[in-house]
Amino acid sequence: MSAAPTEILIDLSTAILRHHGERLECRLVGAASARQAKRLPFGPFMPDQHRTMEIGLRHWVREQVGVDLAHVEQLYTFADQGRHASGEAAHIVSVGYLALTRTREQKSAPSQAPTEDGDWEDLYAFFPWEDWRQGRPEVLDTQILPGLDKWLEKDARAADRVRLAFGRDGAQWDEEFVLERYELLYEASLVEEALVDQGSKGRRQPKPDLGLALHLDHRRILATALGRLRSKLKYRPVIFDLMPSGFTLRALQSTTEMVMGVNLHQQNFRRLVEKSGFLISTGKTQRARGRPAEVFRLRHNEHTERPLSGLRVSAGRAKPNAK
């Protein structure tokens, strides 16, 4: 019932997301050498120094990144062989976390100013096929589906998984299936990490346009994070952990759209949010181009969160394909 165990190291890796300007961004570290893939902030779990993993995680984040985390949530524990460099003596298990940070209050216009506060990358740079805000991403039909079909020719067992994940043959595109889609692309060797893990350097070229690669399985963790966030938005008010203390409804909607990767119907979104009772007006307004917008803030927790539900967001019609 028991055997001599291989030494195990636990790695804590965190997908830290923020909303900045018009982008949903992820914090990266590393990649000192030119051609090396970047990585999520991470560090080993040291049980003799950190009472819980979350404490350990906050330690590493503080040390490497220095941002305030508004929401922290454990995602998944990955322990697959073959997803880690095999040179290591110990077996590495990685525990992935999702963390959200509030945007700092923007003084006036959503500046494109290159605030050099660390290495933040557009989340959709890693998953171009997940952003439907400008309509159905072209890469799906030019690269992904053909690539998957070619893969299915050799072994059609995954055909149904592909159908469900990518919404073919009458199946719906489900924006929550971020991980399932990434895993299929990995299995079909369409993303760079798969080729790296196979050690087949140079044998096949990674497809272009299939997103930036990350260190080890960090992109998988990021996919899990996005899927979880999209899912959670619908039943828990986590979106507010991406917002600054005061914000307009339009800003809230933009952030929601960034996360969900779809456009929403503005008037209905407003109705939804108002009805939820989460927000309270600050009386102030924010002016930019058109009519000034009312600035809201989250109602104090003392009395909020009656139903604690999220925003039952559903995709309106996508804006006419911006082409």
Binding site for its own copies (CB under 8 A): 1-3, 5-10, 43-49, 51-53, 63, 74, 76-77, 79-82, 91, 93, 95, 160, 164, 170-172, 174, 231, 235, 301-302, 305-308
**Residue 121 interaction partner, one of DNA, its own copies, none, beta carbon < 5-8 Å per kind:** none
Neighbours of 192 (CB within 10 A): 19
Minimum CB–partner distance for residue 50 and its own copies (Å): 9
Minimum CB–partner distance for residue 79 and its own copies (Å): 5
Binding pattern to DNA, positions 228-267, x when CB under 7 A?
--------------------xxx--------------xxx
What is d(CA 230, CA 207) in angstroms, rounded to the nearest whole number?
26
Secondary structure E strands in the chain: 8-20, 23-28, 42-44, 71-78, 91-100, 119-122, 247-248, 279-286, 293-298
Minimum CB–partner distance for residue 63 and its own copies (Å): 8
What is d(CA 88, CA 4) in angstroms, rounded to the nearest whole number?
18
**Whether the Cβ atoms of residue 222 and residue 172 lie closer than 8 Å to each other:** no
Place of tokens 């798969």: 194
Q: Residue 233: name the closest of 260, 209, 211, 206 by CA.
A: 260
Question: Smaller CB distance to its own copies: residue 48 or 153?
Answer: 48
Site for DNA (CB under 7 A): how many residues?
24
**Residue 8 interaction partner, one of its own copies, DNA, none, beta carbon < 5-8 Å per kind:** its own copies
Minimum CB–partner distance for residue 50 and DNA (Å): 41
Question: Smaller CB distance to its own copies: residue 60 or 129?
Answer: 60
What is d(CA 165, CA 2) in angstroms, rounded to the nearest whole number?
39
Angle (CA) 215-221-224 rounded to 5° is 150
Residues lying near DNA in the complex (CB under 7 A): 248-250, 265-268, 270-272, 275, 285, 287-294, 312, 314, 316-317
